[in-house]
Amino acid sequence: MERLGLVGLANSGKSSLFNALTGGHVSVAPHPFSTVETSVGVAPLPDDRLQALARLSHSAKVVPAGVEFVDIAGLVSGSAAGEGMGNRFLGGIREVDALVLVLRAFHDDAVTGPDDPLDSLETLELELVLADAASLETQAEKRRKQARLRKDPALAAEADAIDEAMAVLQSGVPLFRSELDTEVRERLANSFLLTNKPVLAVVNAGEDQLESFDELTAPVAAHLGTSGEVIAVCVQLEAEAAQLDQAERAELLAGLGLGEGVVPKVAHAAFHLLGLRTFFTTGEKETRAWIFRAGALAPECAGVIHSDLQRGFIRAEVIHWDELVELGGWQRAKAAGRLRVEGKDYPVEDGDVLEIRFNV
Ligand SMILES: Nc1nc2c(ncn2[C@@H]2O[C@H](COP(=O)(O)OP(=O)(O)O)[C@@H](O)[C@H]2O)c(=O)[nH]1
Ligand SMILES: [Mg+2]
C-alpha cells in the first residue's frame, strides 16, 4: 500500500493527526519525544460512490480504500546536529511515498514548541535539507566510481543528478521546492531522499482559530507555491471527534461549521498527491474500492484484487459507476448491452466498476 509519512516539529500534532486519520490510539502527550516508536495505520478514504453502489447491490459489506500513514517522533531545531533525539528516526520515513508536513498554529502555553506555521516550515525544511545533504555527501563519488567500473552511463547520469541535488540542498532549498527537472528528480530515486518526495502541508489550528483558516494557511501556501497543497485542520478537535460514533461526530463537526470534518480532505489530498485512482467491485457480498496508479491496465488492476486474477486474466466486464447506478444494476446493464468487454490493454479509469474473468 502507498504510504505517507507525517513529519513536523515536536508537539506540532503529528500523533494527534495520525489518530484523527486512522482512528488509532497512539499516545499523545505534551512531551517532545513521546513518540519513540514508529506507528503505521490506515486512513479509510470516504467515498460517496461506494454507498450508492452498495445500495444498488444490497451489499452486506462496504470496504473503502485506504492510504497508509506513518507517525514518527518530532524534529526539533538542530536535530541534524544531534539536538533532541537527533534525526535518526527520519530513517522511518525514508521509504514513504510522500510527506505530510504538520505545522503548528495553535497557541497553548502548556505545550512547548513554536506555533508559527511558516517559521515551523522553515525550520523543518532546514532539518530535512541537512539530513538529505548528509546522506548524499559521499554518494556522487561512489556512483561515479561504479559507473567507470561497470561502464554504465545510467550510473554516471545518477552521479550528475546527485551533484545537481547537492547544489540545491546546499543553497538551503528542499528538492520538492526546487526547480530541478522531473527527470533529474527521478534519477535520484535510489537515494531515498526525504525532500525528493511530494508534500502536503497541514496547518494545525486551535479551536479558537476556526475562523482564521485562510489567514493561517496563506503564508505557507505562498512559500510552497505550486510545490504542495495546504490544508488547515483543528487536529485535536477532529482527533476527539474520531473517537465518537458517527452520528455524534457529524453533529459536533457540523455544529462548528466544519461539515464532515477536514480530516477526510487530508486523506483525499494525500491520495491525489500520490497519483492514485479508485475502481470498484460490487455484489451482494460486498462493495469495495480498490486503489490503482493512474494509467494502470486491466490485468494490473485485477492483480490488486488477487494475483491469480492477474495471472489468469482473460477479460474484464466494465461499466462506469454512475452509469451502473442509473441503469439500476449489473443484470439490467447487461440486458441493456451496456457492459463493455475489455481486454489486457484496457487502461482502467477512475470510477470504473470491474468484473474480472480469469482462469488459473
Ligand atoms: N490546545 C491544543 N493542543 C493541541 C492541539 N493539537 C495537539 N495538541 C496538543 O499538543 C501536544 C502534542 O501533540 P502530539 O499529537 O503528541 O504532537 P507530536 O509531538 O507532533 O506527535 C498534545 O498535548 C496535544 O494534546 C490543538 O489543536 N490545540
Ligand atoms: Mg508524536
Q: Residues 61-106: pLDDT tens digits? A: 999 998 899 988 777 777 777 776 667 667 778 888 999 999 999 9
Average pLDDT score, the chain? 91
CA of 111 to the centre of ligand 1 (A): 7
Q: How many alpha carbons lie under 13 Å from residue 302 in its C-beta half-sphere? A: 26
Across 156-174, average pLDDT: 95
Q: How far is the CA of 35 from the centre of ligand 1 (A)?
A: 12
Q: Which atom of ligand 1 is nearest to the CA of 102?
A: 20
Which position has the grid cell 487536529? 235
Residues with CB under 6 A from ligand 1: 8, 10-16, 28-30, 34-35, 74, 106, 108, 111, 204, 206, 234-236
Give the model's pLDDT for residue 130.
Answer: 93
- C-alpha to C-alpha distance for 305 and 273, rounded to whole angstroms: 23
| 93 secondary structure, DSSP code | G
At the top level of CATH, the class of 3-273 is alpha beta
Domain limits, the chain? 3-273, 295-358
Q: What's the pTM value of the predicted model, to 2 decimals?
A: 0.88
Concatenated DSSP letters of 230-259: EEEE-HHHHHHHTTS-HHHHHHHHHHTT-T
295-358 maps to which CATH number? 3.10.20.30
9, 75 Cβ separation under 8 angstroms: yes
Distance 257 CA to ligand 2 centre (A): 28
* Residue of the CA atom closest to atom 28 of ligand 1: 206
Ligand 1 atom 13 nearest Cα? 13
Ligand nearest to the CA of 108: 1
Q: How far is the CA of 95 from the centre of ligand 1 (A)?
A: 26
